[in-house]
Amino acid sequence: MPRRNNRPAPTQSVPGGAGHDRIESGPDGSDYQVRAVPGARAVKPYRCPGCDHEIAVGVAHIVAWPADTDGADDRRHWHSGWWRGRRTRRPTR
Ligand SMILES: [Zn+2]
């Protein structure tokens, strides 16, 4: 009988399944959990909080939420470029 490797598969604690989640600091300096959404998964239009324009269906983008929450209620969908450039193009307050 072959010996089975009992190491558990990597799990994601975030709803929505596996992804490339990572922690980055957000526009306000606090930690955000970040996930890339491929175009094939972008099935609804979203409003990007960075530029206040719509992210069209089928456009790959970024979803981010405060790292100290599970993201169920507080996800934000960003244009990828806007999220990456958030430190240099600061939102006005
Ligand atoms: Zn945007």
According to the model, what pLDDT value does residue 79 have? 95
| CA of 23 relative to ligand 1 center, distance in Å | 20
Cα gap 87→36, rounded to integer Å: 18
Structure tokens at 50: 């960075």
| CA of 54 relative to ligand 1 center, distance in Å | 7
47 located within any domain: yes
| CA of 13 relative to ligand 1 center, distance in Å | 27
Nearest C-alpha neighbor of 83 from the set 69, 62, 57: 62
Q: Which domain holds residue 29?
A: 21-84
91 located within any domain: no
According to the model, what pLDDT value does residue 59 have? 97
Q: Is it the case that residue 90 has pLDDT exceeding 60?
A: no
Q: Is it the case that residue 88 has pLDDT exceeding 70?
A: no
According to the model, what pLDDT value does residue 12 have? 45
More confident residue, 26 or 47: 47
Nearest C-alpha neighbor of 32 from the set 8, 49, 46, 54: 49
According to the model, what pLDDT value does residue 16 have? 45
| CA of 82 relative to ligand 1 center, distance in Å | 5
Counting the structural domains of the chain, the total is: 1
Q: pLDDT per residue over 59-76, tens digit each?
A: 999 999 999 888 778 899
39 located within any domain: yes
